[in-house]
Amino acid sequence: MLQSASTTIHKWLAQPWPQMKMDLRIVLVLACGSSAGFLALRWMRKKRIRKQILEARSKRNNGLKEMEKAVSEFKQQNPGIQTTSILSLPLAELAEKLKEGSLSPESVLYTYMEKALTVTQKVNCVRHFIPECEQHLQELKKQKQKGLLYGIPVSIKDHIAYKGHLSTCGFTQSLSELQEEDSVLVKVLKRQGANPFVFTNVPQSLLSYDCGNSIFGQTVNPLDHKRTPGGSSGGEGALIAGGGSILGFGSDLGGSIRLPSSFCGICGFKPTAGRLSNSGIRGPIDGILSVMGTVGPMARNVDSLVLCMRALLCADLFQLDPTLPPMPFNEEVFSSSTPLRVGFFDTDGYFLLPPCMRRAVHTTKKLLQEAGHTLVPFTPPSVHYAIDELFFKGVFADGGSTLSAIFYYYLRHYCTVFQFLCNCSSRFITSLTAVALHIQAYRQSFAAEWKKCKLDVILCPVLGPAFTLGYPAKVLTAISSTMLFNVLNFPAGVVPVTTVTEEDDKELKEYQGLYGDPWDKKLKEAVKGAVGLPVAVQCVALPWQEELCLRFMKEIETLSCKGRQKKAT
């Protein structure tokens, strides 16, 4: 082939100059024409994308106006609704009043619609209003049997499928593709009487612990608008923390439920992957097998998480998704008062968290000891290996084909590289298998160390307090404390226990991290000036022991509340 090309060139060079000049002109015209054509196509594509974005924003804004109009009409027809009283009720008490009929489902729905509108105007957390919630409310009232979540308005993360609506993951290419049916999660929620009424915002691709995208913009933290609410379930965290939702649903592949919960001062729970259904959930958690993601609830308190899990772990769930183990909520385990043997650590040795987060662990440890529980120091084994070799390689062990397929799904009209990656995925099967085996071995060794220490649960830190906007992208590995339990596939939850103090802020000035490297310095910059913001701890149990993990979370919440009350007096 090279010899043939060389011969052709020599022949061309041997031509008379006038002929060569003509050929060069033709080549230049063709080259210029190709460049102009490419630039024209690029401009047209950008114009089309811009149009899609503007149309999506317009549709979102029109939906919010419809929401506002519906609230206004209801209030005119029903003056005297005690919205403040409704918003102050805990989920369990609200559900009870709805069941007994002392509160109407309409009054609760429109109260939360109004509050959600107020919150999103300040922090941009609602992606879309779900107008079908009004019709669904009428259908709920006709049901003979009232579910555990009867009449409760709930919010759902952008990528949880609801029939006739978008699941964008923050990508423009999904703006014309509506979901054909509800996700299993939405179906079970409806059967239990819940009423999904808004979608919440996410970062593009969901692979971030910030919360903003080019379509719907940046969501900010309701506690401090200069800070992020966390991600990728940041819209949920912001809406719940702002009081615009009493119960919401996110997803968690590396901390995407737990980080927004920590940053926003609410409770969040990541079950064992496979305890709840991921069917109908778009994005990274729907396909990555080595490191498993899952959906989970977010709320203001642990009791709300418990009621939610109790409602979801029902016969309808197991019938709609028969791949799940038929394990109803274990009331005996959750209600037990047997003292616990708790392993604890204030650093995983991979990334040293700010002083306030480590203080929270030791303060909570003391409260647990005073309550009669046994606290045992625990060193998580081989965390560097778990994060560097297992988490990242587990996510990309298929050569990135799962993730590239997601990107390709949304960007296939614009970038052929993703198609190339998808076509090449077969060469990474050996790597995928190897990483899966290594992850399984690590889970077994971690569980063996757990059993050796005779632990029931673990108390450990979670990343926080809320970062200043723009910093999550600069400090990716700071989330090792949550990533670890995705590798392990252990249930884990977050409970706020205190706030950042002036003393914490002073100690932060001396913070050097583990290595004093640029990432440690960026973390210090990200969290400075956070006095008064919430500080949480993380609670962990062994796989399939969600009820024990929730019981531990409830114990910590109760003791922390008593501790604050005692300190106040």
Q: Under DSSP, is residue 569 helix (H, G, I), strand (E, B) or coil? A: coil
Can you spell out the DSSP letters for 212-230?
A: EETTTEE--BTTBTTB---
Q: What is the pLDDT of residue 395?
A: 73
Q: What is the pLDDT of residue 425?
A: 45
Q: Which residues lie below 8 Å from residue 79, measured CB to CB, with a gap of 6+?
A: none
Active-site hit among 146, 157, 270, 554 = 157
Active-site hit among 155, 183, 256, 480 = 256
Active-site hit among 155, 174, 232, 262 = 232
Q: What is the pLDDT of residue 401?
A: 59
Whether 165 and 60 have beta carbons less than 8 Å apart is answered as no
Q: What is the pLDDT of residue 41?
A: 66
Whether 90 and 152 have beta carbons less than 8 Å apart is answered as no
Q: Which two tokens stand for residue 152?
A: 């409760």
Identify the CA nearest to 317 among candidates 343, 267, 347, 278. Answer: 278
Q: What is the pLDDT of residue 224?
A: 98
Whether 240 and 299 have beta carbons less than 8 Å apart is answered as yes
CA distance 568 to 132: 46
C-alpha distance across the termini of the chain, in Å: 89
**Where on the phi/psi map is residue 243: left (φ > 0), alpha (ψ -120 to 50), or beta?**
left
Q: Which helix (H) or strand (E) holds 495?
A: strand 492-499
Active-site residue, 157 included: yes
Q: What is the pLDDT of residue 33?
A: 61
Q: Which two tokens stand for residue 79?
A: 């003056």
Q: What is the pLDDT of residue 488?
A: 97
Q: Which residues lie below 8 Å from residue 147, measured CB to CB, with a gap of 6+?
A: 191, 192, 193, 194, 311
Q: Which two tokens stand for residue 281?
A: 């959930």
Q: What is the pLDDT of residue 29?
A: 58
Q: Which long-range contacts (CB under 8 A, 24 or more apart) does 431-435 make?
A: 431/393, 431/397, 431/398, 431/399, 432/289, 432/290, 432/397, 432/398, 434/397, 435/290, 435/390, 435/393, 435/394, 435/397
CA distance 297 to 427: 37
Q: Set out the domains of the chain in order of their start, with CATH numbers.
A: 50-322+340-568 (3.90.1300.10)
Q: What is the pLDDT of residue 54?
A: 96
Active-site residue, 261 included: no
Taking only the tens of pLDDT, the chain with its 569 residues reads 444 545 554 554 455 655 655 665 665 555 566 666 666 667 777 888 999 999 999 999 999 999 999 999 999 999 999 999 999 999 999 999 999 999 999 999 999 999 999 999 999 999 999 999 999 999 999 988 999 999 999 999 999 999 999 999 999 989 989 999 999 999 999 999 999 999 999 999 999 999 999 999 999 999 999 999 999 999 999 999 999 999 999 999 999 999 999 999 999 999 999 999 999 998 876 555 688 899 999 999 999 999 999 999 999 999 999 999 999 999 999 999 999 999 999 999 999 999 999 999 999 999 999 999 999 999 999 999 999 999 988 776 655 555 565 555 444 444 444 444 444 444 445 577 788 899 999 999 999 999 999 999 999 999 999 999 999 999 988 999 999 999 999 999 999 999 999 999 999 999 999 999 999 999 999 999 999 999 999 999 999 999 999 999 999 999 999 988 888 87
The one-letter code for the residue type at 387 is I
The one-letter code for the residue type at 553 is M
Active-site residue, 232 included: yes
Q: What is the pLDDT of residue 48?
A: 85
